[in-house]
Chain A
Amino acid sequence: MTPKKTLLIFMLIVAVTALVIAAVSFLVPKKQSLTHLRIGYQPSTHQIAHMTAMEKGWWREDLAKFGIEKVSDYEFPSGPPEMQAMLAGDLDIAYVGATPPITAIYEGLDAKIVAGVQIQGSHLALRLEVDYTGPDDLRGLKIATFPPGSIQDTVLRKWLIDNGLDPENDLEIVAMGAGEAIFAITAGAVDGAFLPHPSPAVIELDGSGRMVVVSEEMWTNHTCCCLVVSGRLIREYPDVVKQIIKIHINATEYNKNHPDEAAEIYARKVGWEVEKVQYSLNTWDGYWVSDPHIGMNITLEYAQVIYDLNKPRYDRVLTEEELFDTSFYDKIVAKET
């Protein structure tokens, strides 16, 4: 190799290295003051509290005194991409199922569950031609639900085991998202689906299946959704976190007292018919909460399940202190009472 060629290659390597470093430096999150609150949520009836607060302008108005100039919400199809965004530093708070933050915290997410959002709220729906008298009828069937580690998968497996069925051998549990599961049951590719509302109501209203087992029957008072706040907000902006929880409590109470309006808000947000939303809310077993203590023990059981699924990777089960920060909620409630 000639010296000229060697020099050229060396220069090329240096240039590529510089380019890579420059490109990567853009990926690293930069520190900035909190003027823009970024909220993650899913288009589910479980999380109407956020939609109510957003539509009524409570997020923006009540947080303005803390320097928040802009509030944006970002819709996610499920919990994992939402937590992926939070891990990447793109979300400050998230309305999400209880298990995705657990898996994310196991992988290093700096965040805590600060409030409850909703309990129960799922249904097992079966195709119309499938007879159902009890769990034993599920033998040999193909049931769609969210992937392993999700609340629905965990609740379904626990219920099957409680009823003497082996989830691995007696039936086939197929992992998929809500949209795919609704399509699969309509297409006859699966016999049933265990999903959070409003999906089971959609299946029943479409005429492709019927709701047969309510999630309360499977695991009474199991936690479903919660409110997660980033560690940065908790440490650097505790007053903002306190206000966020206050807004969430107000929105939850408002929805409980005005369920018809909550249905309208949801319908407007996701572009649905109000009657369908009301049908979902009338048939579900879920209830909205804001107290993080409700279902805390069950959330810790989820942490154990996720640990068991990833045993060689995780060396211990996450503790209550690592998952929850109830101090803000407790202070608000203590002050009010």
Chain B
Amino acid sequence: MIRLLQRRLDKVVTPMRFLKRRGLEIASFFCAIVIWQFVADFIVKNEFILPSFSTVATAFFELLSSGIMLMDILTSLLHLAIGLTIATCVGILVGAITGWFRVADRVADPIIEILRPIPPLAWIPFAIVWLHLTHSAAGFIVFVGAVFPILVNTYAGFRNVPKILVDSAEVLGCTKSHDLIKAVAFPSALPFITTGIRIGTGVGWMCVVAAEMFGVSKSGLGYRIFQKFYPFHQMDNLLVYMIILGLIALFLDRFFRFYIEERLLKWRKEIVA
């Protein structure tokens, strides 16, 4: 009983324990801020070339209190959600089919390999022609950026299903392709698929800024950067939005790593760890 209590107490994160565990990260973060402020104030001495940390912090609170920032974040997340949802569906479906069926792979591979290296920005004119100036056009650019990492990882996951698992399933009566995909290949490829979605989310998020440059909406982080802050040379506001872009990307990545992967791939811990 005492041992159990002791173990529980050990798990409680006190400020001291937190500092001990994350001290280096916190110190590094504060050092970066101090260096930034020092360089901006005493070396550069020009808020246009490098706005200081304090200026950026002030700009952050002004933008936050105006309500613009929240609206922009939500619009950009909408564009990401549109693109990522379609990219996930298409990427997993095409990746699974090409990874499992050799003929499908031979048919699709040349097309995918030609389309894959085309930068998402090159698709902007077609996004305008096909989808006009709508949220879907921005979503399309995100889709182009996100679909290939998901597709390629799903493909790799299905190609790398251990043969022993397939043989065992067949011995146990699972002979149809449909059943094998559902019961063996898909669960086996899940770590690859989640990695693909994680990478795709990062790439898609990077595309959001570019996707909002061409008049698809009247809000959004990219819209605000290119249509408001940049023309008015508001470098402090611009830096705030750049940091917001980075923070949201970090949050999305951590969400995938610690929530989705922990939940979906709980069984894997027993194998790897």
Is A190 close to B, CB under 8 A? yes
Q: Contact between B43 and A24 (Cβ–Cβ < 8 Å)? A: yes
Residues 206-218 of chain B: 1 if any A CB is under 8 Å from the residue's CB, otherwise 0? Answer: 0000000011000
User: Which residues of A are found within 8 Å of B2, using beta-carbon distances?
Assistant: none
Tell which of A88, A142, A309 touches B48, judged by Cβ atoms closer than 8 Å.
Answer: A88
A184 to B214, CA, bound (A): 10
User: Which residues of B are found within 8 Å of A306, using beta-carbon distances?
Assistant: 232
Q: Contact between A87 and B48 (Cβ–Cβ < 8 Å)? A: yes
A106 to B235, CA, bound (A): 12
In the complex with contacts A24-B39, A28-B44, A108-B47, A183-B232 CB distance below 8 A: no
> Closest approach, in angstroms, between the C-beta of B58 and any C-beta of chain A?
11
8 A Cβ contacts from A12-64 to B = 13, 16-17, 20-21, 24-25, 27-28
Q: Contact between B39 and A21 (Cβ–Cβ < 8 Å)? A: yes
Residues 29-49 of chain B: 1 if any A CB is under 8 Å from the residue's CB, otherwise 0? Answer: 001000100010001111111
Instruction: Identify the interface centre among B62, B227, B231: most chain A CB within 10 Å of its CB.
Output: B231
Q: Contact between B133 and A27 (Cβ–Cβ < 8 Å)? A: no
In the complex with contacts A21-B43, A24-B44, A88-B49, A187-B129 CB distance below 8 A: yes
A310 to B24, CA, bound (A): 41
Is B234 close to A, CB under 8 A? yes
Is B246 close to A, CB under 8 A? no
Is A83 close to B, CB under 8 A? yes
> Closest approach, in angstroms, between the C-beta of A322 and any C-beta of chain B?
16
Q: Contact between B214 and A103 (Cβ–Cβ < 8 Å)? A: no
8 A Cβ contacts from A145-168 to B = 147-150
Contact-residue bracket for chain A: 35 or more
Is A188 close to B, CB under 8 A? yes
Is A68 close to B, CB under 8 A? no
Q: Number of residues in B with C-beta < 8 Å to the partner?
A: 29
User: Which residues of B are found within 8 Å of A20, using beta-carbon distances?
Assistant: 35, 39
Is A180 close to B, CB under 8 A? yes
In the complex with contacts A148-B228, A187-B129, A189-B129, A180-B215 CB distance below 8 A: yes
A100 to B66, CA, bound (A): 25
Q: Contact between A25 and B43 (Cβ–Cβ < 8 Å)? A: yes
Tell which of B31, B35, B62, B215 touches A174, judged by Cβ atoms closer than 8 Å.
Answer: B215
Q: Contact between A103 and B233 (Cβ–Cβ < 8 Å)? A: yes
Q: Contact between A149 and B215 (Cβ–Cβ < 8 Å)? A: no
User: Which residues of A are found within 8 Å of B31, using beta-carbon distances?
Assistant: 13, 17
Tell which of A16, A88, A184 touches B128, judged by Cβ atoms closer than 8 Å.
Answer: A184
Is A305 close to B, CB under 8 A? no
> Closest approach, in angstroms, between the C-beta of B231 and any C-beta of chain A?
4
Is B156 close to A, CB under 8 A? no
User: Which residues of A are found within 8 Å of B101, using beta-carbon distances?
Assistant: none
User: Which residues of A are found within 8 Å of B133, using beta-carbon distances?
Assistant: 142, 174, 184, 189-190
User: Which residues of B are found within 8 Å of A108, using beta-carbon distances?
Assistant: 47-48
Is B240 close to A, CB under 8 A? no
Is B230 close to A, CB under 8 A? yes
Is A107 close to B, CB under 8 A? yes
Q: Contact between B234 and A107 (Cβ–Cβ < 8 Å)? A: yes
Closest residue of A by beta carbon distance from B235: A107
A235 to B48, CA, bound (A): 21
Residues 293-337 of chain A: 1 if any B CB is under 8 Å from the residue's CB, otherwise 0? Answer: 000000000000010011011000000000000000000000000
A16 to B39, CA, bound (A): 12
In the complex with contacts A27-B50, A180-B214, A189-B132, A87-B43 CB distance below 8 A: no
Closest residue of B by beta carbon distance from A150: B231
Is B125 close to A, CB under 8 A? yes
A108 to B24, CA, bound (A): 39
Instruction: Identify the interface centre among A16, A148, A175: most chain B CB within 10 Å of its CB.
Output: A175
Tell which of A107, A183, A189 touches B233, judged by Cβ atoms closer than 8 Å.
Answer: A107
In the complex with contacts A9-B24, A24-B43, A313-B227 CB distance below 8 A: no
A313 to B231, CA, bound (A): 15
Q: Contact between A176 and B62 (Cβ–Cβ < 8 Å)? A: no
A-B contact pairs, 10 of them (CB 8 A): A9-B24, A13-B31, A17-B31, A27-B49, A79-B231, A84-B230, A107-B233, A176-B214, A184-B133, A187-B132
- 10 closest Cβ pairs, A-B complex: A107-B233, A80-B231, A174-B215, A187-B129, A189-B132, A176-B215, A147-B227, A103-B232, A189-B128, A175-B227
Q: Can you name 6 extra interface pairs (CB under 8 A) apart from A28-B49, A87-B48, A313-B234?
A: A16-B35, A84-B233, A103-B231, A148-B228, A176-B215, A309-B232
